[in-house]
Homo-oligomer: A and B are copies of this chain.
Amino acid sequence: MSLAKLKQRVAELADLGAAVHLLHWDLETYMPPGAVGDRASQLALLGRMEHELFVADEVGEWLDAAARELEGQPADADDVRAVAVTRRDWVRARRVPAAWVEEFARLGSLAQHAWREARAGAGFGHFRGHLERLVAARRAYAEFFAPYESVYDPLLEDYEPGMTAARIRAIFGELRPVLVALVAEIRARGQPVDAACLEGDFDEAAQEAFGLFVLRRMGFDFEHGRQDRSTHPFTSPLSPGDVRITTRFDRKLLSSALFSSMHEGGHALYEQGIAAEYARGALGRASSLGLHESQSRLWENVVGRSRGFWSHFYPELQARFPALDAVPLETFHRAINRVEPSLIRVEADEVTYNLHVMLRADLELALMGDELAVADLPAAWNDRMREYLGIVPPDDARGVLQDIHWSGGSFGYFPTYCLGNLAAVQIWDAAVRADPELPQAIARGELGRLREWLAANVHRYGRKYDPDELLRRATGRPVEAGPYVAYLRTKYGELYGL
Q: List A residues at the B interface (Cβ < 8 Å).
A: 11-12, 15-16, 18-19, 22-23, 26, 30-39, 41-42, 45-46, 49, 221-226, 228, 238-242, 244, 280
* A33 nearest CB neighbor, chain B only: B223
Interface contact A239-B35, CB-CB below 8 Å: yes
Compute how far the CA of A234 lies from the CA of B55 in the bound complex, rounded to whole angstroms. 38
Compute how far the CA of A65 lies from the CA of B465 in the bound complex, rounded to whole angstroms. 53
- Which B residues are in CB contact (< 8 Å) with A11? 41
| Known pairs A11-B41, A34-B221 / 9 extra A-B pairs, C-beta < 8 Å | A15-B41, A19-B19, A19-B22, A22-B26, A32-B223, A32-B224, A32-B226, A32-B242, A39-B242
Compute how far the CA of A129 lies from the CA of B81 in the bound complex, rounded to whole angstroms. 45
Compute how far the CA of A32 lies from the CA of B224 in the bound complex, rounded to whole angstroms. 5
The 4 nearest A-B residue pairs measured at CB: A35-B242, A38-B239, A34-B224, A35-B241
Compute how far the CA of A242 lies from the CA of B27 in the bound complex, rounded to whole angstroms. 11
- Which B residues are in CB contact (< 8 Å) with A42? 15-16, 18-19, 239
Can you list 12 A-B contacts (CB < 8 A)? A11-B41, A12-B45, A19-B22, A19-B42, A30-B226, A30-B228, A31-B242, A32-B241, A32-B244, A33-B223, A35-B238, A49-B49
Compute how far the CA of A438 lies from the CA of B18 in the bound complex, rounded to whole angstroms. 48
Interface contact A38-B226, CB-CB below 8 Å: no
Interface contact A38-B223, CB-CB below 8 Å: no
Q: Count the copies.
A: 2
Give min CB distance, A367 to chain B, whole Å. 35
* A38 nearest CB neighbor, chain B only: B239
Cross-interface CB contact of A223 among B23, B34, B280, cutoff 8 Å: B34
Give min CB distance, A449 to chain B, whole Å. 24
Evaluate whether A38 and B18 lie within 8 angstroms (CB atoms) in the complex, with A30-B228, A224-B32, A226-B32 already known. Answer: yes
Cross-interface CB contact of A238 among B38, B221, B244, cutoff 8 Å: B38
Give min CB distance, A269 to chain B, whole Å. 15
Interface contact B226-A34, CB-CB below 8 Å: no
* A221 nearest CB neighbor, chain B only: B34
* A16 nearest CB neighbor, chain B only: B45
Give min CB distance, A410 to chain B, whole Å. 24
Compute how far the CA of A224 lies from the CA of B35 in the bound complex, rounded to whole angstroms. 6
Give min CB distance, A458 to chain B, whole Å. 22
* A44 nearest CB neighbor, chain B only: B15
* A25 nearest CB neighbor, chain B only: B26
Interface contact B242-A34, CB-CB below 8 Å: yes
Give min CB distance, A37 to chain B, whole Å. 6
- Which B residues are in CB contact (< 8 Å) with A46? 15-16, 19
Evaluate whether A34 and B228 lie within 8 angstroms (CB atoms) in the complex, with A12-B45, A19-B19, A45-B16 already known. Answer: no
Compute how far the CA of A41 lies from the CA of B31 in the bound complex, rounded to whole angstroms. 24
